[in-house]
């Protein structure tokens, strides 16, 4: 078995950002739900590249779906947006995330962390969504249906970043969405591939 190790430089960069923001988000935690993937987070460098590409502006409401301990939330909250929101089914992980948000340095935006199932969340205020492969195809399909239903005609300006896009085919089954950018892990030597979607106009 080949175990992929994160290069030392990237691990040091993660430690640097945990220290700089004053938060603690590392680790791998199993989640007790049949369609949920375990908790893990992305490299800070990956998250920062994704957020930069999404070009957030002060009117955006940023939602990390399956927000875990809140690393993505804290990175987004360093920018001035209308609101940053996390949703996660695990009460423990939500407590971690709230603690991290409360103590983070460099926060410029309000952050809310909601405990609950992503497929039942109210997405009507969201404009930018991130998912780090949080669950299987069935839940993903339900979440995309919920986003479409909640946003209705307001979905025209949304962007969705889907990291480690194991179920891209689910996005393809939603004709209201189109993939407008794809980062290939191998050719770009990144940790994960990332698919970016927007509403088809
Ligand atoms: C791979 S982690 C990503 C964490 C975070 N987005 C990050 O990148 O740092 C996936 C998270 O999705 C959550 N999750 C899985 N299924 C969920 C569901 N149906 N509703 C809400 N959260 C869910 C898990 O509890 C876990 O914290």
Give a yes or no: residue 69 inside a domain: yes
pLDDT value of residue 83: 98
Structure tokens at 14: 């993660």
Give a yes or no: residue 39 inside a domain: no
Residues framing ligand 1 (Cβ under 6 A): 31, 33, 36-37, 39-42, 64, 66-68, 71-72, 87-90, 93, 117-119, 132-135, 139
Give a yes or no: residue 40 inside a domain: no
Task: Give me the domain span that covers residue 61.
Answer: 47-199
Local structure of residue 7 (DSSP, 8 states): P
Nearest CA to ligand 1 atom 23: 66
Instruction: State the distance from the centre of ligand 1 to the C-alpha of 27, rounded, in angstroms.
Output: 13
Give a yes or no: residue 7 inside a domain: no
- What does the pLDDT look like over 29-42, one tens digit per residue? 999 999 999 999 99
Q: Which of the four pLDDT bands, split at 50, 70 and 90, describes residue 4?
A: low
Check: CB of residue 101 under 8 Å from CB of residue 113.
Answer: yes
- What does the pLDDT look like over 119-139, one tens digit per residue? 999 999 999 999 999 999 999
Cα separation, 48 vs 53, whole angstroms: 9
Domains: count for the chain: 1
Three-state secondary-structure class, residue 135: strand
Give a yes or no: residue 19 inside a domain: no
Instruction: State the distance from the centre of ligand 1 to the C-alpha of 65, rounded, in angstroms.
Output: 7
Instruction: State the distance from the centre of ligand 1 to the C-alpha of 183, rounded, in angstroms.
Output: 21
Give a yes or no: residue 148 inside a domain: yes
Q: Which of the four pLDDT bands, split at 50, 70 and 90, describes residue 77?
A: very high
Find where tokens 């780090």 sit: 132
Give the Å distances, CA to CA, from 19 to 12, 14, 54, 167, 190.
11, 9, 25, 34, 23
Local structure of residue 191 (DSSP, 8 states): S
Report the atom number in ligand 1 closest to the C-alpha of 41.
9
Nearest CA to ligand 1 atom 6: 67
Contacts of 157 (CB under 8 A, 6+ apart): 127, 199
Closest CA to 107 of 83, 131, 123: 83
Quote the crossing angle between the two packed helices 44-54 and 8-21, to the nearest 10°: 70
**CATH code of 173's domain:** 3.40.50.150
Give a yes or no: residue 30 inside a domain: no
Q: Is the pLDDT of residue 1 over 50?
A: no
Give the Å distances, CA to CA, from 21 to 39, 72, 73, 142, 168.
20, 12, 12, 34, 32
Instruction: State the distance from the centre of ligand 1 to the C-alpha of 36, rounded, in angstroms.
Output: 7
Give a yes or no: residue 21 inside a domain: no
Report the atom number in ligand 1 closest to the C-alpha of 42.
8
Element (H or E) spanning 137, and its range? helix 137-151
Three-state secondary-structure class, residue 112: strand
Q: Is the pLDDT of residue 2 over 70?
A: no
Parallel, antiparallel or unpaired: strands 159-163 and 177-183: unpaired
Instruction: State the distance from the centre of ligand 1 to the C-alpha of 69, rounded, in angstroms.
Output: 9
Report the atom number in ligand 1 closest to the C-alpha of 131.
6
Nearest CA to ligand 1 atom 16: 36
- What does the pLDDT look like over 25-74, one tens digit per residue? 999 999 999 999 999 999 999 999 999 999 999 999 999 999 999 999 99
């Amino acid at each position: 078995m080949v175990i992929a190790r994160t290069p030392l430089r990237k691990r040091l960069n993660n430690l640097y950002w945990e220290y700089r923001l004053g938060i603690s988000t590392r680790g791998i935690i199993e989640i007790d739900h049949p369609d949920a993937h375990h908790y893990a987070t992305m490299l800070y460098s990956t998250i920062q590249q994704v957020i930069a590409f999404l070009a957030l502006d002060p009117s955006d409401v940023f939602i990390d779906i399956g927000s875990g301990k809140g690393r993505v939330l804290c990175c987004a909250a360093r920018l001035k947006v209308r609101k940053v929101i996390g949703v996660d089914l695990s009460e423990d992980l939500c407590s971690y995330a709230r603690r991290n948000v409360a103590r983070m340095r460099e926060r410029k935006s309000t952050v809310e962390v909601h405990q609950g199932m992503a497929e039942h969340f109210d997405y009507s205020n969201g404009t930018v969504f991130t998912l780090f492969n949080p669950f299987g195809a069935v839940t993903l399909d339900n979440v995309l249906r919920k986003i479409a239903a909640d946003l209705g005609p307001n979905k025209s300006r949304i962007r969705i970043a889907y990291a480690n896009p194991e179920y891209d085919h689910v996005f393809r089954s939603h004709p209201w969405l189109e993939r407008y950018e794809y980062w290939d892990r191998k050719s770009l030597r990144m940790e994960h591939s990332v698919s970016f979607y927007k509403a088809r106009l």
